Amino acid sequence: MDSSIYGDLTISSTENSIKMNYLGWATLGDYQNTNGIYGYTYLYKQGYVTEGPENTAEFYNKPFTFFNNFDQQIVTFKSYLVNRRLSYDIHRVLENSYWSPISKNPYQNITLSRSFNISYEGSPLHSSIWFKAYTDNGMSSRVTLSGMNNATDYTDRNNLTRSWSIDYNQGEGTYTVQNTNCASAQVILQDQYPTSVSMSGNTTWSTFHDGFEMALVGTNVTFSNVTESPTSQGDMDNPSPMYLVVPVGETTE
């Protein structure tokens, strides 16, 4: 597509705007993604959209207004650990450049990691968190949250060759999702406030993607002890979580 008409390529994991946070999953094109969400182009072709843009880019470029009906601001932040071979499509190359510790040379068979601590100001009113571990082709990865108290317990596992597991240890306050050899595990929780996030993965030749996203009402957050490994081999060099404030009322982008 002509970038002078449609703008530059962008994806939700590397752009920090209200519009992309909200529409990132909707602008997926002509397929159903691993979270079970159909892209706009698919819905259009199936006749579910009776009037509207004919493609994802036109849909995304329409004026967008978001209403925060809470009486306090919404805070969102997200962080990922990603490594993909550069033969993959361009949006994955963009993701590599931001979230891979070895994006300058992604063809390495090593262990990668990212971690950070979270501090909350005051007493939050509500939160929603999502975390996921995914790998392809013989690799493994995991995401662990600490400081998880009285959370809903989704402990489960699949011990097949392509294995995944979800483990909640209430005594230790840890929640872990992990997988091996082309598998995925993810959890969504409400009103939990983790104090730290750690992500790790072993890269061989294909791709893996760990992720953590959180939205809160009624608080600000700060991050400390932000680390990645290895160091000084990525384009972004140890990025902090992407942080966004959604003000009360109406915002148009």
Q: For 171-192, what is each residue's pLDDT tens digit? A: 999 999 999 888 889 999 999 9
How confident is the model over 145-158, as pLDDT tens digits? 999 999 999 999 98
**pLDDT at residue 60, as a whole number:** 72
In this predicted structure, what is the pLDDT of residue 122? 85
Q: What's the confidence (pLDDT) of residue 11?
A: 65
Query: Please, what's the b/e burial string for 230-240 (b: 16 or more CB within 10 A of its CB; e: otherwise)?
Result: eeebbeeeebe
Q: What is the pLDDT of residue 1?
A: 47
**What is the pTM (predicted TM-score) of this model?**
0.85
Q: What is the pLDDT of residue 229?
A: 96
pLDDT at residue 176 in the model: 98
Phi and psi (nearest 5°) for 172? -90, -15
Cα(197)–Cα(240) distance, rounded to whole angstroms? 12
CA dihedral in degrees (57, 95, 161, 158; nearest 10)? -80
Contacts 24+ apart (CB under 8 A), 84-90: 84/206, 84/207, 84/209, 85/205, 85/206, 85/207, 88/207, 90/9
Contacts of 125 (CB under 8 A, 6+ apart): 70, 72, 217, 218, 219
Average pLDDT of the chain, as a whole number: 84
Alpha helices in the chain (DSSP H): 3-6, 18-23, 40-45, 56-60, 90-99
CA distance 35 to 92: 17
Position 29 pLDDT exceeds 70? no
Cis-peptide, bond into residue 230, ω within 30° of zero: yes
* Distance from C-alpha of 142 to C-alpha of 155, rounded to nearest angstrom: 14
Q: What is the DSSP letter of 39?
A: P
Between strands 111-120 and 196-202, the pairing is antiparallel
Integer Cα distance of 230 and 233 in angstroms: 7
